[in-house]
C-alpha cells in the first residue's frame, strides 16, 4: 500500500503546507496498520543519496518561491517561540536528508504539486519493487 499524509498543520497562505509519502506492507489493508507483522517505510529509505539531494533541491526551490508574510501577519506577533517555528518554514534545507529522514514535501501552488508528482512518479517503480520484496505477511 502507498499512502500520502497531509500535514496536520493545515494550510497557510504564505507557508503553504506539506505531505509525506509512505509505503506499507501489512496483513490487512489498513493505512498506518500497527499489527506486529506490518512494515512501514517513508520514501527516503528507498532513495539513494543523490535522489535525496534531488528532493532537497526541489524543496529549496519551492521554499525560495514562497511569499514571505507581511510584518502585519498575526503569527509574527505572538509568543517568540511560535514565531520562530513559523519562520523556519521559509528557510532553505541546509543539510542532506539521511536515509531514515521523515521528509515532508512542501507545496504552496499547483505547480509545486505537479513538480512533486513528476519526481514521485519517476521513483515509484523502484520503491514498489523494493516494498514488494519485503517478506510476505501472514493473514
Please state the pTM of the whole predicted model. 0.88
Every domain of the chain and the residues it spans: 2-132
- Please report the pLDDT score of residue 24 as a whole number: 87
Q: How confident is the model at residue 138 (pLDDT cuts 50, 70, 90)?
A: low
Contacts of 15 (CB under 8 A, 6+ apart): 66, 69, 86, 89, 90, 108
- Kindly report, residue by residue over 29-49, the tens digit of the pLDDT: 777 766 777 788 999 999 999
| N-term to C-term CA, the chain | 15
- Kindly report, residue by residue over 9-25, the tens digit of the pLDDT: 899 999 999 999 999 88
- Kindly report, residue by residue over 75-134, the tens digit of the pLDDT: 899 999 999 999 999 999 999 999 989 999 999 999 999 999 999 999 999 999 999 898
Amino acid at each position: 500500500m502507498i499512502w500520502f499524509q497531509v500535514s496536520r498543520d493545515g494550510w497557510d497562505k504564505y507557508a503553504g503546507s506539506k505531505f509525506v509519502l509512505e509505503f506499507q506492507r501489512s496483513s490487512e489493508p489498513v493505512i498506518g496498520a500497527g499489527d506486529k507483522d506490518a512494515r512501514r517505510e517513508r520514501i527516503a529509505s528507498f532513495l539513494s543519496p543523490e535522489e535525496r539531494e534531488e528532493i532537497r533541491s526541489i524543496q529549496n526551490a519551492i521554499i525560495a518561491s514562497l511569499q514571505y508574510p507581511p510584518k502585519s501577519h498575526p503569527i509574527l506577533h505572538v509568543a517568540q517561540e511560535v514565531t520562530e517555528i513559523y519562520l523556519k518554514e521559509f528557510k532553505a534545507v541546509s543539510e542532506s536528508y539521511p536515509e531514515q529522514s521523515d521528509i515532508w514535501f512542501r507545496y504552496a501552488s499547483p505547480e509545486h504539486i505537479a513538480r512533486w508528482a513528476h519526481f514521485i512518479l519517476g521513483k515509484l517503480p523502484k520503491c514498489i519493487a523494493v516494498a514488494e520484496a519485503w517478506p510476505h505477511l501472514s493473514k
